[in-house]
């Protein structure tokens, strides 16, 4: 975007629709090749951050799945994504489950869980992750990969406080 052009205006220019819409629109970007299925984004952790990401992605027309549990899982299964923005309620479809194997491999996996939950959760996420899956950590705190590629004596250093035993790095 050029000077004086805000992100909402730029989004409208690129997609032909407002940046935030309460109505699902067509997928943004080129269609998948004829023998490939549309991309899938899996949100792991449907709290405040995960729901915001999942609802917005799904409302743009991208297929979403969610790994959830308890009341959150029940709500997603019955109501889909629900995101209140001021007076507006954005709703969008989602396939929700408690078993990663039931959701299948995703093109993008968004990790939106609390940092302390990830070491116990990461080893079970393998069914979501394929050779070309992109993992997007949408978490606060220092990530497990913080020292990767730094060079020098810190290169590859594992922070056991956020990845006890290296289980997160091995799984993801």
Q: Which pLDDT tens digit goes with each residue over 52-86?
A: 999 999 999 999 999 999 999 999 999 999 999 88
Q: What are residue 32's phi and psi, to 5 degrees?
A: -65, 155
pLDDT at 114 over 50: yes
CB count in 10 Å sphere of residue 13: 10
- Give SS3 for 3: coil
**How many Å apart are CA 61 and CA 104, to the nearest integer?**
19
Query: Residue 62: what pLDDT?
Result: 95
**How many Å apart are CA 85 and CA 20, to the nearest integer?**
10
Query: Residue 107: what pLDDT?
Result: 96
- 130 contacts: CB under 8 Å, gap ≥ 6: 105, 106
Q: Which two tokens stand for residue 103?
A: 């959701």
pLDDT at 127 over 60: yes
Question: Closest Cα partner for 166 from 144, 148, 147?
Answer: 144
Question: Closest Cα partner for 50 from 66, 61, 39?
Answer: 66
Contact by Cβ (8 Å): 90, 80: no
Higher pLDDT: 11 or 157? It is: 157
- 12 contacts: CB under 8 Å, gap ≥ 6: 18, 19
């Amino acid at each position: 975007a050029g000077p004086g052009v805000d992100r909402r205006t730029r989004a409208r220019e690129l997609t032909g629709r407002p940046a935030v819409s309460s109505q699902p629109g067509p997928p943004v970007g080129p269609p998948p090749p004829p023998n490939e299925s549309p991309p899938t984004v899996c949100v792991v952790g449907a709290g405040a951050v995960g729901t915001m990401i999942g609802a917005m992605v799904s409302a743009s027309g991208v297929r979403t799945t969610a790994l959830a549990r308890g009341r959150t899982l029940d709500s997603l299964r019955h109501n889909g994504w629900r995101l209140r923005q001021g007076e507006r309620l954005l709703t969008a479809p989602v396939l929700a489950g408690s078993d990663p194997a039931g959701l299948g491999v995703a093109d993008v996996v968004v990790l939106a869980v609390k940092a302390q939950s990830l070491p116990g959760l990461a080893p079970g996420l393998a069914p979501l992750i394929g050779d070309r899956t992109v993992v997007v950590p949408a978490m606060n705190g220092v990530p497990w990969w913080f020292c990767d590629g730094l060079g020098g004596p810190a290169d590859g250093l594992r922070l056991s406080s956020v990845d006890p035993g290296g289980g997160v790095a091995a799984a993801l």
